[in-house]
Amino acid sequence: MDPNLLYWKHEGQSFVSRLRIWFNLLDPSTLLSSDVRYLLTVLCLQSSVHADTGDSLPLVFRPPGLSFQVVASFLPHSGVKPALFWQFMLQSYTAGFNHANRNSSSEQGKKTSLKQLLLLAGTVSYATCAGALPQIFINRLGIRSASLQTFFRSILPIPLSAALAFFSVSTIRSEESETGIQVFDSKGSPVGLSKAAGQKAVRETALSRAALLGSTAAIPNLLVLLLKRTKVFKRNTLLAVPVRHMSVAFVLGLMIPISFSLFPQLGKIRKENVEEELKAAAVDGQLYYHRGL
């Protein structure tokens, strides 16, 4: 078992311990780690190296890089073109992050397939258009009602952001569910590929990403809606803009380590839930797998 996974096995089995680790890992300075430097510390190793291949992760797709997502994607837009542009930026980044941090244990020695490239392009295209739907509705339907504009600008983006985040992970990492991922026994020895473990890993990661982007859309929008009812904001309507920007950045920064910590990096799957040929290897009643990120 990779040293990264052994570290998570011993140090990251409780939510609190995982949260503490991720707060350290998400220090933006780790983005500047060189190949020599990150080998000198466990934290840099965890955030810079892929646990399946041992290869250095692309700089922009290391976990600390997620804190630099495009905040503008979560803000109201005045037209369809800006909405499509910022959604494209967001969905392209999240798709690349999901692909770079997937479980690739069944792909050792293989190049990225044409199917994976098509999935990436299709996911980005679909999610970009779907993410811009609120603004498209407002413009195409000529909505002028304040209550309807509030619905499309502040309410609809909440479930939409969560659903698209779940969709992106599920689609881009669908190969893990179809071909299986490497599972390990209690001693850390690989025992084979499991589709059941792959499905569980993808589902857990999709739920954590939905929690991340759904919360980032929900809390700032609901906060601004509440503040607009106060006398101060009624007299100074321009205050809503900086409050929304700052709250999006704050919630995003807070939710990244929380969402990463919702499920263990080294997940467990019970003996009765794996394939028949792998049950004999689960001597302690469970097997382990790398969830990906």
Burial class (CB in 10 A: 0-12, 13-18, 19+), 213: buried
Mean pLDDT of 148-158: 89
Rounded CA-CA distance 71/55 in Å is: 29
Q: Residue 38 — pLDDT band, cuts 50, 70, 90?
A: very low
**Residue type for position 179:** T
**Residue type for position 193:** L
What pLDDT shows up at residue 62?
72
Q: Are strands 286-290 and 181-184 parallel, antiparallel or unpaired?
A: antiparallel
Buried b (16+ CB within 10 A) or exposed e, 214-241: bbbbbbbbebbeebbeeeebeeeeebbe
Question: Which residue shows structure tokens 């409050």?
Answer: 243
Number of domains composing the chain = 1
Q: Which residue has the higher pLDDT, 160 or 4?
A: 160
User: pLDDT tens digits, residue range 119-148?
Assistant: 899 999 999 999 999 999 988 888 888 888
Residue 212 has pLDDT above 90, yes or no: yes
Residue 187 has pLDDT above 60, yes or no: yes
Rounded CA-CA distance 270/31 in Å is: 36
User: pLDDT tens digits, residue range 6-28?
Assistant: 777 877 778 998 888 888 777 65
What pLDDT shows up at residue 56?
72
Would you put residue 54 in left (φ > 0), alpha (ψ -120 to 50) or beta?
A: left
Residue 30 has pLDDT above 60, yes or no: no
Torsion angle of the four alpha carbons 112, 115, 119, 121, in this order, in degrees rounded to the nearest 10 = 70
DSSP-based three-state secondary structure for 148: helix
User: pLDDT tens digits, residue range 257-268?
Assistant: 999 999 998 899
| Nearby residues of 120 by Cβ (< 8 Å), 6 or more positions away | 95, 96, 99, 172
Q: Which residue has the higher pLDDT, 159 or 188?
A: 159
Prediction pTM value: 0.86
Mean pLDDT of 70-91: 80
Residue 200 has pLDDT above 90, yes or no: yes
Rounded CA-CA distance 71/211 in Å is: 16
What pLDDT shows up at residue 170?
95
What pLDDT shows up at residue 100?
87
What pLDDT shows up at residue 161?
93
What pLDDT shows up at residue 66?
61
Please state, for a pLDDT cut of 90, what percent of the chain lies above it.
Answer: 35
**H or E element, residue 126:** helix 114-131
Range of the domain at 113: 3-290
Rounded CA-CA distance 33/62 in Å is: 11
**Residue type for position 123:** T
Question: Which residue shows structure tokens 């997620």?
Answer: 66
